[in-house]
C-alpha cells in the first residue's frame, strides 16, 4: 500500500479522449513554496496561483512530458484553479494535448520535484479512456513515478493480435 503525504506527491488527472488528452496537474502549496520558492498566500490563494502560473507551468513543461509514437506532444495550459485546504491546499493547472490519432500506447515522463526531494512521488490518475470506453472514476491511479521510475508506458487497449479471440469472450 502506498502512503503519501500531500507534499510528497504531485498528481496528474487525465481523460483520454478520441483526439486529445484533457487533464490537470494538482500541486500542493507546500511544494510551490518549498521547491519553487513561490509566495502562495492562503488568504488569496487563487490570485497567488494565477500570478505565479507562468513560473509553475514552465517548471511542469521542463519536468513532465507525454510521448506518442516516439514524438513529444505539446501540453497547452488552459486555466488555473485551486483546491482549498488552508496551508495544504492544491493549485490546479488545467491542460489539453492534441493527439490525432490516439495511439494504443502513451509514454509519460515525470521528474517533478525529484531534484529536491528523492522521496517525492508523482501519480497519474486516469478517469476516462475513450480507447477502452471505460470510465474509471477520478481516483484510479494508473502510474506511480519515482526518481528511479520516471518514464512509463500506459497501454490504452488490449492488443488483440496476441490473443485467441475465443479466449476474450
For residue range 74-109, what is the model confidence (pLDDT) as tens digits?
999 999 999 986 668 999 999 999 999 999 999 999
**Cell output for 94:** 488545467
Cβ atoms of 76 and 97 within 8 Å: the answer is: yes
Instruction: Name the percent of the chain lying above pLDDT 70.
Output: 86
pLDDT of residue 102: 92
The one-digit pLDDT tens for each residue of the chain (169 residues) are 444 455 578 999 999 999 999 999 999 999 999 999 999 998 999 999 999 999 999 999 999 999 999 999 999 999 999 998 666 899 999 999 999 999 999 999 999 999 988 999 999 999 999 988 889 887 889 999 999 999 999 987 644 444 443 333 2
Q: Using only the alpha carbons of the chain, give its radius of gyration.
A: 17
> CA nearest 141: which of 7, 10, 13, 4?
13
Cβ atoms of 23 and 64 within 8 Å: the answer is: no
Q: For the chain, give every domain's residue range.
A: 9-168
Amino acid at each position: 500500500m502506498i502512503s503519501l503525504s500531500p507534499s510528497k506527491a504531485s498528481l496528474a488527472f487525465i481523460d483520454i479522449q478520441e483526439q486529445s488528452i484533457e487533464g490537470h496537474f494538482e500541486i500542493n502549496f507546500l511544494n510551490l513554496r518549498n521547491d519553487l520558492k513561490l509566495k502562495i498566500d492562503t488568504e488569496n490563494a487563487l490570485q497567488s496561483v494565477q500570478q505565479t502560473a507562468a513560473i509553475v507551468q514552465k517548471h511542469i513543461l521542463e519536468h513532465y512530458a507525454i510521448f506518442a509514437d516516439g514524438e513529444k506532444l505539446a501540453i497547452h495550459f488552459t486555466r488555473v484553479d485551486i483546491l482549498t485546504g488552508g496551508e495544504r491546499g492544491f493549485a490546479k493547472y488545467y491542460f489539453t494535448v492534441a493527439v490525432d490519432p490516439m495511439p494504443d500506447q502513451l509514454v509519460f515522463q515525470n521528474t517533478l520535484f525529484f531534484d529536491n526531494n528523492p522521496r517525492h512521488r508523482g501519480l497519474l490518475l486516469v478517469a476516462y479512456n475513450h480507447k477502452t470506453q471505460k470510465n474509471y472514476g477520478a481516483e484510479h491511479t494508473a502510474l506511480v513515478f519515482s526518481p528511479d521510475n520516471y518514464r512509463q508506458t500506459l497501454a490504452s487497449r488490449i492488443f488483440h493480435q496476441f490473443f485467441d479471440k475465443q479466449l476474450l469472450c
